[in-house]
């Protein structure tokens, strides 16, 4: 199931069961969990960049619409009603936690259990002891972020002590014992050539900037959302403006601002 609102999630068994690396039968129950008949493994689901390229080649050969990016493709593939086998077989599961009644086991030990059970876990999870080590870790991951097999837009920093993590509770979906460090968006400049207007299923009109194609974070960007008409007015945009664009959350291109002095 998806995490939903932390209480009720969406059943996605019909798609996730086809993920290429999903273990359908656990080889053993790890010692720490032997008294629990049921426990929950929490994971992220991704489509690796290479798998995404292969998937789009298959779709192109079949005359199907190409998928925009790996992140949206993974989310959409998980929620399909009519299953596209090419898409679901491209899914990869990356477990990061086991939820169980036993909370005296720290997070790093739980990750070792996941590894012993046969799951593929991120090799970059590291126990850090102070803020100096944290800053060094953030710098290393940030500098290497484009070399990962899947897209990532940040780092989750969480307490290793699970008992304290649980005691701190949560606000909505967000646990107090963890925080997300988001990478600064990569920016580029290009020309605003035109504006098109898309009509959503509710009738809402969304302006889309048509840009002189430019490379940004490993992909070519030629369109960016402008959200609404007030956004165009607020950013004071004109045709043929030189504009700054970036990828929001590392995925969706957005137009940040125009550079009036180059007008």
In the predicted model, residues of the chain with pLDDT beneath 70 are: 28-37, 100-103, 218, 248-250
Q: Which residues contact 47 (CB under 8 A, 6 or more apart)?
A: 55, 70, 71, 73, 74, 77, 90, 91, 92, 150
Q: What is the pLDDT of residue 29?
A: 59
pTM for this entry:
0.73
Q: At which residue do the structure tokens 């086998």 appear? A: 85
Q: How many CB atoms lie within 10 A of CB 121?
A: 16
Q: What is the pLDDT of residue 98?
A: 84
Q: What is the pLDDT of residue 152?
A: 84
Q: Measured between alpha carbons, how far is 89 from 77 in angstroms, rounded to an integer?
A: 9
Q: Are 73 and 47 spatial neighbours (Cβ–Cβ below 8 Å)?
A: yes
Residue 89 φ/ψ, nearest 5 degrees:
-75, -15
Q: At which residue do the structure tokens 């929950």 appear? A: 40
Q: What is the pLDDT of residue 102?
A: 62
Q: What is the pLDDT of residue 239?
A: 95
Q: What is the pLDDT of residue 101?
A: 56
Q: What is the pLDDT of residue 123?
A: 86
């Amino acid at each position: 199931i998806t995490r939903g609102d932390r209480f009720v999630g969406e059943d996605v068994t019909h798609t996730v069961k086809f993920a290429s690396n999903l273990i359908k039968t656990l080889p053993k129950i790890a010692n720490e969990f032997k008294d629990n008949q049921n426990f929950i493994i929490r994971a992220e689901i991704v489509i690796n960049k290479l798998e995404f390229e292969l998937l789009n080649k298959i779709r192109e050969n079949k005359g199907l619409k190409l998928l925009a990016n790996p992140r949206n493709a993974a989310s959409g593939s998980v929620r399909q009603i009519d299953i596209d086998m090419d898409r679901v077989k491209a899914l990869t599961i990356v477990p990061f936690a086991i939820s169980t009644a036993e909370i005296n086991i720290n997070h790093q030990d739980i990750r070792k259990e996941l590894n012993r059970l046969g799951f593929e876990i991120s090799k970059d999870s590291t126990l850090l002891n102070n803020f100096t080590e944290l800053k060094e870790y953030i710098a290393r991951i940030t500098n290497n972020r484009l070399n990962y097999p899947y897209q990532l837009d940040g780092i989750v920093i969480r307490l290793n002590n699970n008992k304290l993590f649980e005691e701190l509770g949560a606000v909505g979906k967000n646990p107090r014992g963890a925080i997300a460090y988001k990478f600064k968006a990569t920016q580029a400049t290009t020309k605003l050539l035109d504006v098109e207007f898309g009509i959503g299923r509710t009738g809402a009109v969304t302006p889309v900037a048509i840009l002189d194609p430019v490379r940004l974070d490993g992909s070519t960007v030629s369109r960016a959302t402008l959200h609404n008409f007030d956004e165009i007015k607020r950013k004071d945009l004109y045709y043929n403006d030189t504009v700054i664009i970036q990828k929001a959350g590392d995925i969706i291109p957005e137009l940040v601002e125009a550079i009036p002095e180059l007008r």
